[in-house]
Structure 1
Amino acid sequence: MARTIDPAKHEARRLVIIDAALTCFAATGYAGTSTAAICRQAGIGSGTFFHYFPTKQSLLLAILAYGTEETRDWFAARADDEDPLAVVVAYLDHTAEEMSDPRMAGFVRAVSAVMGEPDVEAALALDTRVLEDGLEPWIARAQAAGQVRTDLSARDLTAWMLVVLDGFLGRVAVDTDFTAEGQRDTLRDVVRRVLSR
C-alpha cells in the first residue's frame, strides 16, 4: 500500500531544509557549504535531504524561487491599495526588513559566487522580471496620480529603482557598517529623490 504524504508536513520539512541552507550558505558560502552541513543544521539525514533536493544547487534554486514567489505574493496582496506611492515605499521597507535578517548579507555573497551558473542566472532574471512586473504598474499609477515625475517612463523609473535596490543589497552584503536597518531611511530618501517631480 502506498504511503500517503501530508502536504502540510511535506512543505514544513522543505522549509526547514531551506532555512538551514540559508543559514549555512550565509555562514560559509556556497562552495564552503556541504549537504552534510545543511543536514546537521536541519536535523535530518542525507536520505531526507535528497528526497527533497537532488543537489545542493537545486536547493539554492529553491531558495531563489521561494524569494521570487514571495515578491509576487507581496504585490498581489496589495492589488486593492489606493495610494500607489505608499505601495512603492512599503516595498522599500519590506526589502530593508528582509535584508535586516543577519543571514542575508552572507546569502547575497553566496549567490554572487555562482552567478555565472546558467540556472542561477535564469532564476535571478526571473526574480528581476517579477519585481519589475510588481513595481512598474504602481509607478505608472503614481505618475497618473501626480505623485511622481513623468519626464521618464514608468519603465525607466522602475529600472532606476532596481539600480538603487541592487546597489543597496550589494553594499549591505560587503560592508558590515552599512546595515539595512541603519540605512532604511536613506534608502527611502534616495528613491523618493529619483521619483520626485
Structure 2
Amino acid sequence: MRTVDPAKHAARRRHILDAAAEVFAAKGFEAATVAEICRAASVGSGTLFHYFPDKAAIFRAIFQEDAERLSAELTALDTADAAAAFWAVVDLMARDVRDPAAGGLVIALLGRLPQDAELAGVLVAADEAALSRLTECVTRLQKDGLADPDLPAAHAARWVGSIIDGLYLRCGDEGFDAELELRTLRTVLTRFLFR
C-alpha cells in the first residue's frame, strides 16, 4: 500500500487552492471551470477531484482555510498591551486587501453566498471570532482610559469590522492603493475610538 506524505498532500492542496483563487478572482464563481482550475494548478482532473469533490467545495475551502488561519492567529495574539492587540486584530482582518486577487474574490463571494449556506456559515463564524477579539480589545482600551468609554465595546467593534469590510468592497477598484487605504484606516479608527 502506498503511503501519503502529509506535508506533500497539504502542499498540493494549498497549490490547488491558490491557483483556484486566481481563476475565481478573474472569472467569478459561475464562469470559472474545473478545467481552468486544473490548468492553472497544473494538475489533472483526477488529482483535483481527489482533493475536492466539486467546484463549490474548492471555492468554500479557499475561505475556510483563511478563516481557520485567522482564528488561529487571533487566538495566538499577545494581548498584554491592549492598544497593540487592537491594532494587531485590525491588521489581521485587513491584510488581504493587499492581495491583487482580493477584489475579484469578493465579487465572486458576494455572488455565491446566496446559494451556499455552508460558505455563509464559514464567513459568519470568522466574523464573530474577529469581532469577539475586537470587543475584548476595545473593552480593555476603555478600562485603560485609552478609548471612548461612552461607546458600547461590541458596537464599536462592529463599526470597526464594517469599515474594514468597506475596504474589501473597494479593493478591486481601479487605482486602489492598499497601503494608502490601510494608513487611512488607522487614522479613521484612531479618531473614531481613541481618546
Separation in 2 of the partners of 1:119 and 1:90? 28
Separation in 1 of the partners of 2:132 and 2:10? 27
Q: Which residue of 2 aligns with 1:183?
A: 181
Q: Which residue of 1 aligns with 2:166?
A: 167
**4+ runs deviating over 6 angstroms:** none
**Paired amino acid for 1:181:** E
Q: CA deviation at 1:14?
A: 0.6
Equivalence map 1:97-136=2 (5 Å): 97-117=95-115, 118-136=117-135
TM-score, normalized by length of structure 2? 0.92
Q: CA deviation at 1:179?
A: 2.7
Separation in 1 of the partners of 2:121 and 2:93? 21
- How many residue pairs get aligned? The number is 194
Separation in 2 of the partners of 1:49 and 1:30? 17
Q: Which residue of 2 aligns with 1:70?
A: 69
Aligned residues of 1:68 and 1:130 also touching (Cα < 8 A): no
Q: CA deviation at 1:96?
A: 4.2
TM-score, normalized by length of structure 1? 0.91
SS at match of 2:29: coil
Aligned residues of 1:84 and 1:142 also touching (Cα < 8 A): yes
Deviations 1:148-192 (Å, cap 9, x if unpaired)?
11112211111111111111111223x222332221111111111
Separation in 2 of the partners of 1:128 and 1:57? 21
Separation in 1 of the partners of 2:130 and 2:94? 15
Separation in 2 of the partners of 1:169 and 1:90? 18
Q: Which residue of 1 aligns with 2:53?
A: 54
**Paired amino acid for 2:38:** C
Q: Which residue of 2 aligns with 1:142?
A: 141
Separation in 2 of the partners of 1:46 and 1:106? 24
Identity of aligned residues (%): 37
Which of the two has greater helix per residue?
2
Separation in 1 of the partners of 2:40 and 2:60? 19
Separation in 1 of the partners of 2:113 and 2:188? 27
Aligned residues of 1:139 and 1:157 also touching (Cα < 8 A): yes
RMSD in angstroms over aligned alpha carbons?
1.5
**Paired amino acid for 2:65:** Y
Q: Which runs of 5+ in 1 are unaligned?
A: none
Aligned residues of 1:84 and 1:138 also touching (Cα < 8 A): yes
